[in-house]
Structure 1
Amino acid sequence: MGASAKVELVEALVQALATALAGGEGITRRPASTYRLQLHAKFGFEAAADLVPYLAELGISDLYLSPILAAAPGSTHGYDVVDHARLNPELGGDEGFARLAAAAAANGMGILLDFVPNHMGIGKENAWWMDVLENGPSSVHAPAFDVDWTPLKAELGHKVLVPILGDQFGRVLERGELTLVREGGSFFIRYFEHVFPVAPRSVPQVLRFRLDALKEELGASDPGVQDLESICTALEKLAPRTETSPEAVAERAREKEVAKRRLGALCDSSERVRAFVDENVRIFNGTPGDARSFDLLHRLLDGQAYRLAFWRVAGEEINYRRFFDVNGLAAIRMEDPRVFTEAHRLVLGLVRDGKASGLRIDHPDGLHAPTAYFRRLQAAYLVERGRLLAQQRGEPLDAATEALLLERLTAELEAGRLPRRPLYVVVEKVLVAPEKMPDGWDVDGTTGYEFLAALNGVFVDPAAERAFDTLYSRIAGAREDFREVMIARKRLVMESSMASEINMLAHRLARISEMDRRTRDFTQRELTRTLVEYVSLFPVYRTYVSPRGEVHDRDRRYVEETIARARRRSPVVDPSIYDFLRDVILQRYADGLSDADRREWLELALKLQQVTGPVTAKAVEDTAFYAYVRLASLNEVGGEPRRFGTTPEDLHALLAERQARYPGSLSATSTHDTKRSEDVRVRIDALSEIPGDARAAWTRFTRMNRSHLTRIEGRTAPDRRDEWLVYQTLLGTWPDGGLAPGSPALEAYEARIHAYVEKALREAKVHTSWTNPDAEYEQGVHRFVQRVLASPPFVAELAALAARLARAGRVSSLAQVAVKCFAPGVPDVYQGTELWDLSLVDPDNRRPVDYEVRRRVLAEVRAERARGGDAVRALARRLSTPDALVEGRAKLLLLHAALAFRRERLGFFLQAEHRPLAANGPHAAHVLAFARSHGGRAVVCAVPRLVLRLLEEGEGQIRWEGALPLPEGLPRRWRDVVTGAVHDADAPSLGALFADFPVALLASE
């Protein structure tokens, strides 16, 4: 096809797609609700398919799956993708997914796929990574990974640091743990289960060793000897790994494989050559106890495109960008068009074919340019639809035409001539209040962390903040400001696990400073310190300076404010160094800079914003949240623990903003990443309603358990902060009905608490850590947990307080469900949470779910509701009595009724405006309410909050006082979605609203 014909085809396809989209064809479905499933080898596609009918009956519109692409063997989460072109065989592969997609389609359900664009799992299963290790910068796949090939440490030039050894390199080598192996015509280095390829140009070191002796034995004219020498010559003539021209890379990739095939065939055909080569391998592997015998292998390893190193050096010297500080997850350069195309082909094909209906994008803040990525993603989805149209026309697209179509569609989307969001996409974006979603992202919204944190905060009593400040100061021994804790933890992360990233940035910044005589005297140390101060004070996850150097007002404001704070906190530092950093980040170029120099400035800004996010996530979510535990339920992704709760007004403002900008956002209350389940959080929240009792409980608990503490060199295990976290954890997770001493249930519960406590201690990085575990401290804390759970007086006190919190927590849990089902956004249900779920952070929240129990409860609820009339109301009343609430059936009833109602009215909920409502009377502050209205229809959600005292005053029942006035313009006759009760007053009383069920969800009639 000629160039003009390609252009004509592209224009025809663009026009055809525009027409189809205008008619709604090709715009993927927007879910009414989602249900998150964590897939793994023991719960794969077949198990998920078997669950589809139950979920459809529950009212779920769309499955929401953890990553499904081929991942590292044994992966329990799927985020370590090793091959974007294959479905995970451990989940059931193509056949299993086809069955799941068919089951979903048969039940009218869509499938939302979790996609990981930022990083890949690295290991022998990742062909891209193995090729980079074999060939270095000259690898065909080198552009896929974000490797600094010219790092500060000269010895790592054109190499990848692989910090995987369990000890110092020399010790590992001389113990014989690194071994050379031959497989056919290829050579590898093995280290236990790890495998590393040998660079083709260094293979002759093995093949030529003792070659003179083989010549003497067989003669120089022996065909086997000649072939062996010819192979060596071919390998030695390969382009060096520093050669990165496309022609040289392609030639090297081709010729090295030819040489491997020749060597493999030679070893197969010549027994003598094979024995010679294998004996060389044996000699290279050395003899433990004879240090010099490892010189050959050492020299061979020095010639590789990687440097094997002790795992502890990773923090300071690693030279590939990672996911946070996880060495086994290497970041990929999704901004490279080839990488983008190869990574997305399969998942977008699934959407195109109707086997998936949308994407959840993991960790977008790790991307080089998120705005450009999302626009390309939308365009790439349309390209896939264009491929179908082209095939129907009998003109299948070649690569060049496809690239041209992608370019044209991207331009059309950018110009607004096509719908901005034909593909449903939600993103795992953490918004730190009052941060808003960045402008220009072609997505439907977030995965809901900001919703989760704000909604949870409504069940925290802000009036108790001073009392908890006083209590926590007593516990911690000093008054702590979470912001200062966060800053300190950011510094800790940048000095330890992510020091290499800061060193790399400081090295780049030093090069930039040398460009101008007015900045060249800034030292490397000063620049490093300045970067650490800036990143530690930066208030959100990242800026979004574009690859074209565009800086939005939002980012300019954050940078200016951070620089000003850094100056104030660093009075002895030359303030001009902060001005210099500010100018580089904001692209305020110095006079006389060349285009190349300007590119250096821009690259620094782009790289820096890919570092602030991981540092913040690691320091806050995985460190500060475990070290600052004033009220642990506030320590959640997207939350701000220094803010003691959320006012209803703030929640309403967030919901109105959501409806106006991103009504397709997920409304999550539990996720695979939450520190505590939705039900655990609200039970701990209830402590805020009884600050005096919380203080008294702390006093009693510490007095009772003083003898269980272990004293270690002037400190106790646990220390007072850790002890307070243990108590909050036990209060939030103590099972309804208690635990019998010596029972298997108590043993299982204790094992879960031990696992959680160990993770919490190590994440906090105060007394112990993952990299430097303090066994003595950890054992002391484990001993404490074991002893307190075996102490009848303490368990009795614990159970009594936990029961009080649970009574309020159960009502708050139902309130959360009601709000997320009727609020702007898409209600998201995490696996198993349709009944009470008292799980902690992973892996606790990924335990198997008993779906047989849930199926049985749903069947019973559906059967009762099918009877209609008074039976529905009676069911709601029966399930919401104090004793029945313990079972959790009321939660499933509420979810089922609300989700089924919402699924039938998807268009209404996507478009209905959000209107705050305010109750009146003595209990007005204990009600959160809002209305949604559109097209003459309306719904009302009214839920209780801060009810612990109200429940206790009413001996388990709240005697509501007050009413909920409904504003003008709303209908005057309402039916409760859960109970069927009818309300027709202008201001229904709270007693009437909550007479049959703890929450009220009303629909206009």
Structure 2
Amino acid sequence: PHGYDVIDYRINSEWGGEDGYRRLIARARAKGLGIIQDIVPNHMAIHEGNYRLMDVLKKGRASRYYRFFDFYEEEDKIRIPILEDKLENLIAQGLIRLEKDVDGEYYIKYRDWRFPLNTVGKDLVETLNMQHYILAHWRDPPSYRRFLAVNELIAINEEYEEVFEEAHREILKYDVDGYRVDHVDGLFNPIDYVRKLKRVSGGRIVLVEKILAFGEKLFEGPDGTTGYDFLNYSNLLFTSNEEKMTSIYESFIQRRFDLDQELRSCKEKVLRDLFPYEVERYSRLLGIKAEDLRDYLICLNIYRTYGDVKVECDRSGAIARAYKSNPHTYHKLEQFLPAVYVKAYEDMLLFRYNRLISLNEVGSDLHYYSLSYDDFHEFNAKRVGTLSLNATSTHDTKFSEDVRMKISAISEYPDEWREKVYEWHDILNPKVDRNDEYRFYQVLIGSYFREGFSEEYRRRIEQHMIKSLREASIYTSWLNPNIEYERRMLDLVEEAFTNRSFINSFSKFEAKIRRVGMEKSLSLVALKIMSPGVPDIYQGTETWRYLLTDPDNRRPVKFEELADLLKRSRSFDKEMISNMDDGRIKIYITHRLLRLRRDLNINSLAYKPMRTPDGVCGFWRGDRVLVLVKTRGIGRVVVRVEGRFIDYLTGEYVVNDVEIDSLPRILIREK
């Protein structure tokens, strides 16, 4: 379970309950660890265990919890679109029926759902018609605000004082250091919410899950974000040969890719297929034309506004006039804005534009292929002392850091990559679109590791590729699956996993890419830990972890194996470099740099960029710690440094000149 389908605000008994959580907090405190509690103030799950919602479904507007949820007030009944077929068909099949609980109370049973009844009629149909709610087909619109386009997640009105208190009473009882606020952009007024949470928690740390566009500033109040800005700024340091990689991609797919037009097309499709009801409703409530609202939503290239109107997107002026005359409804519209951008950009465009898919991440801007060191330093320098996370992998990233770095390594070998994709095309003779085929080769290169072409790995690739196709929504989609086209993709996967000519060719190229990808990953670890901010190490990524889009990135972590690996990796030896596959080198660097960060209180030290040759990113923390990492290029690079240093990772002494090859250099100037 992912835990974001909240039914109550108590600690789940399956995870140890309240007593278990208090013991965890106490043990963490004893070891000098703090705890940031993840909280979900935007939505809850439609589930029989959600007693507040069940009370509303039973009593309607008379329920004390009616204002808790963000229902559409103009609707007479609560429409819950979860049915897989027409109501009458499901009744005929016996999938929707009346049942009694142990207390003799009747309820509606459908699959794993149980719905309460306010009264019982003479038969099932009459009983259903007498309720305060309607069970509708999943394609129908709900009569409540939902999380993105997920009908089973109903939004709440945390802006009401009584709802805020109800939703946070239990959370505030625990002696934690702060909170991670999930989907802060879904809230009515994120600025007020953070201010209130700070006040009632006694000033505890508040980190918000906020996706910032490049150059966008975080609103006032939070102590930082969950780190997608760092992820994307650092990610752009590791790519090379933009012109060649663009040319190879467009030549292979046999067309030019207009990124802006494609994003516009994605937004149009999302508004047409997923949110036509919301567009009609908000335009009606705001008193504007639906066309004006659609144009505004399509034009916006940020996740949401905060009590303002982007005039450059309001060509007719209708949005500004509506905001002035009806600010409350405009703020409700702002809660809807993230759904449009997430579904169009994150869940569609990122699976359509496949030039180099290591760049296709949450919070990215695909107009950027790479980033200058000056721009990275400017970004870092503004974050000195911040508590913002430095994320590189999360439960929402499209690929884990090791997959991304390995795919980025392809850009170091553009000519060989061109030869390989055409060679593989001839060997496999795919029956899918070349754009989907091009993505498949990158996915395979990025995620392939020690398990080889195993059955488990094949299932993972199959699931990922089908998800990719449906998210892209060109030949198939979640709304209208095209099983025949999906079968062609599965045939391609099967052929790749069994064709000896392909496997031999692929394996030779992958072995070369793997080493370069690992070196890039180690550089990224050093940047994450030594840059301003708080390093966020996603579960299991202390060592190599080649994960795809969720649910693959939530695979169980083998903690006992990690602990054993750490025991064998506490001191440096050269075999860590010659045999990187065993994972010791990554966990060693992670452990070693976290210790340095703690011992020198790195986050409090000044940040000063260092001029470096192309391919090497360098900066000082304070006046003694010099960080040098290779981000682009192949082979050794020599950098001039003035003075005498010791390499904190290898123990090597360095005087004036330092050679950078497989490992990042963390140099401590001798006093």
Q: How does 1:897-936 map onto structure 2 within 5 Å?
A: 897-906=592-601, 909-919=602-612, 924-933=613-622
Contact kept in structure 2, 1:763 and 1:770, CA below 8 Å: yes
Deviations 1:318-361 (A, max 9, x none): 2211110001111111101111111112222103xxxx222111
Equivalent residue, structure 2, for 1:302? 129
Q: Which has the larger radius of gyration?
A: 1
> Which letter does structure 1 place at the counterpart of 2:529?
C
Deviations 1:676-711 (A, max 9, x none): 1101101111122222222222211111111xx3xx
Q: Secondary structure of 2:392's match? A: coil
TM-score by length of 2: 0.96
Equivalent residue, structure 1, for 2:108? 189
Q: Does 1:677 align with 2:400?
A: yes
Equivalent residue, structure 2, for 1:1002? 667
Q: Secondary structure of 1:82's match? A: coil
Contact kept in structure 1, 2:292 and 2:318, CA below 8 Å: no
> Which letter does structure 1 place at the counterpart of 2:63?
S
> Which letter does structure 1 place at the counterpart of 2:305?
T
Q: How does 1:238-637 map onto structure 2 within 5 Å?
A: 284-285=122-123, 297-313=124-140, 317-351=141-175, 356-382=176-202, 422-438=203-219, 440=220, 442-461=221-240, 464-510=241-287, 527-545=289-307, 551=308, 559-563=310-314, 567=315, 578-585=316-323, 587=324, 598=325, 601-637=326-362
Equivalent residue, structure 1, for 2:482? 774
Deviations 1:265-315 (A, max 9, x none): xxxxxxxxxxxxxxxxxxx44xxxxxxxxxxx32332221111111121xx
- How far has the Cα of 1:854 moved from its partner? 2.0
Q: How does 1:629-648 map onto structure 2 within 5 Å?
A: 629-648=354-373
Contact kept in structure 2, 1:432 and 1:638, CA below 8 Å: yes
Q: What is the alpha-carbon distance in structure 2 between the residues aligned to residue 542 and residue 497 of structure 1?
A: 18
Contact kept in structure 1, 2:295 and 2:313, CA below 8 Å: no
Q: Secondary structure of 1:836's match? A: coil
Contact kept in structure 2, 1:136 and 1:158, CA below 8 Å: no
Q: What is the alpha-carbon distance in structure 2 between the residues aligned to residue 163 and residue 861 of structure 1?
A: 52
> Which letter does structure 1 place at the counterpart of 2:312?
E
Q: What is the alpha-carbon distance in structure 2 between the residues aligned to residue 693 and residue 436 of structure 1?
A: 41
- How far has the Cα of 1:767 moved from its partner? 1.2
> Which letter does structure 2 place at the counterpart of 1:534?
Y
Contact kept in structure 1, 2:351 and 2:471, CA below 8 Å: yes
Q: Secondary structure of 1:880's match? A: helix
Equivalent residue, structure 2, for 1:98? 22
Contact kept in structure 1, 2:607 and 2:620, CA below 8 Å: yes
Q: What is the alpha-carbon distance in structure 1 between the residues aligned to residue 261 and residue 413 of structure 2?
A: 27
Q: What is the alpha-carbon distance in structure 2 between the residues aligned to residue 108 and residue 705 of structure 1?
A: 55
Q: Supply the RMSD in Å over aligned alpha carbons.
A: 1.9
Q: Does 1:878 align with 2:569?
A: no
Equivalent residue, structure 1, for 2:79? 161
Q: Does 1:817 align with 2:579?
A: no
Listed as ranges, the gaps of 5+ residues in structure 2 are: none
- How far has the Cα of 1:760 moved from its partner? 1.0
- How far has the Cα of 1:899 moved from its partner? 0.2
Q: How does 1:746-785 map onto structure 2 within 5 Å?
A: 746-785=454-493
- How far has the Cα of 1:976 moved from its partner? 2.5
Q: Secondary structure of 1:432's match? A: coil
Q: How does 1:76-225 map onto structure 2 within 5 Å?
A: 76-84=1-9, 86-150=10-74, 157-183=75-101, 184=103, 186-199=105-118, 202-203=119-120, 206=121
Deviations 1:468-500 (A, max 9, x none): 222222233321122222221111111112222
- How far has the Cα of 1:467 moved from its partner? 2.1
Q: What is the alpha-carbon distance in structure 1 between the residues aligned to residue 294 and residue 136 of structure 2?
A: 26
Moved beyond 4 Å, runs of 4+: none
Q: Secondary structure of 2:174's match? A: helix
Q: What is the alpha-carbon distance in structure 2 between the residues aligned to residue 443 and residue 800 of structure 1?
A: 48
Q: What is the alpha-carbon distance in structure 2 between the residues aligned to residue 531 and residue 876 of structure 1?
A: 62
Q: What is the alpha-carbon distance in structure 2 between the residues aligned to residue 444 and residue 144 of structure 1?
A: 28
Q: What is the alpha-carbon distance in structure 2 between the residues aligned to residue 679 and residue 855 of structure 1?
A: 20
Q: What is the alpha-carbon distance in structure 1 between the residues aligned to residue 337 and residue 490 of structure 2?
A: 35
- How far has the Cα of 1:544 moved from its partner? 0.5
Contact kept in structure 1, 2:279 and 2:294, CA below 8 Å: yes
Q: What is the alpha-carbon distance in structure 1 between the residues aligned to residue 150 and residue 33 of structure 2?
A: 35
Q: Secondary structure of 2:546's match? A: coil
Give the alignment partner of residue 944 of structure 1, picking from 630, 634, 639: 630
Equivalent residue, structure 2, for 1:69? none
Equivalent residue, structure 2, for 1:65? none
Q: How does 1:914-993 map onto structure 2 within 5 Å?
A: 914-919=607-612, 924-933=613-622, 937-948=623-634, 950=635, 958=636, 960-964=637-641, 972-983=643-654, 985=655, 988-991=656-659
Q: What is the alpha-carbon distance in structure 2 between the residues aligned to residue 885 and residue 178 of structure 1?
A: 56
> Equivalent pairs: percent with the same residue?
35
Q: What is the alpha-carbon distance in structure 2 between the residues aligned to residue 457 and residue 369 of structure 1?
A: 32
Contact kept in structure 1, 2:641 and 2:657, CA below 8 Å: yes
Q: Secondary structure of 1:804's match? A: helix
Equivalent residue, structure 2, for 1:4? none
- How far has the Cα of 1:176 moved from its partner? 4.0
> Which letter does structure 1 place at the counterpart of 2:248?
L
Q: What is the alpha-carbon distance in structure 2 between the residues aligned to residue 131 and residue 147 of structure 1?
A: 14
Q: What is the alpha-carbon distance in structure 1 between the residues aligned to residue 388 and residue 573 of structure 2?
A: 30
Contact kept in structure 2, 1:137 and 1:149, CA below 8 Å: no
Contact kept in structure 2, 1:319 and 1:500, CA below 8 Å: no
Q: What is the alpha-carbon distance in structure 1 between the residues aligned to residue 563 and residue 633 of structure 2?
A: 31
Contact kept in structure 2, 1:834 and 1:892, CA below 8 Å: yes
Q: What is the alpha-carbon distance in structure 2 between the residues aligned to residue 358 and residue 122 of structure 1?
A: 28
Listed as ranges, the gaps of 5+ residues in structure 1 are: 1-75, 151-156, 207-283, 286-296, 383-421, 514-526, 546-550, 568-577, 588-597, 710-715, 740-744, 866-874, 951-957, 966-971
Contact kept in structure 2, 1:149 and 1:160, CA below 8 Å: no
Q: What is the alpha-carbon distance in structure 2 between the residues aligned to residue 903 and residue 930 of structure 1?
A: 18
Contact kept in structure 2, 1:137 and 1:158, CA below 8 Å: no
- How far has the Cα of 1:543 moved from its partner? 0.6
**Residues 426 and 860 (structure 1 numbering): CA distance in 2 closer, same or farther, change over 3 Å?**
same
Q: Secondary structure of 1:181's match? A: strand
Q: What is the alpha-carbon distance in structure 1 between the residues aligned to residue 73 and residue 456 of structure 2?
A: 49
Q: What is the alpha-carbon distance in structure 2 between the residues aligned to residue 115 and residue 964 of structure 1?
A: 46
Contact kept in structure 2, 1:149 and 1:159, CA below 8 Å: no
TM-score by length of 1: 0.65
- How far has the Cα of 1:912 moved from its partner? 2.1
Equivalent residue, structure 2, for 1:698? 421
Deviations 1:532-556 (A, max 9, x none): 12111101111101xxxxx4xxxx5
- How far has the Cα of 1:182 moved from its partner? 4.1
Deviations 1:885-936 (A, max 9, x none): 2222111111111001112233xx33322211112xxxx1011001122xxx
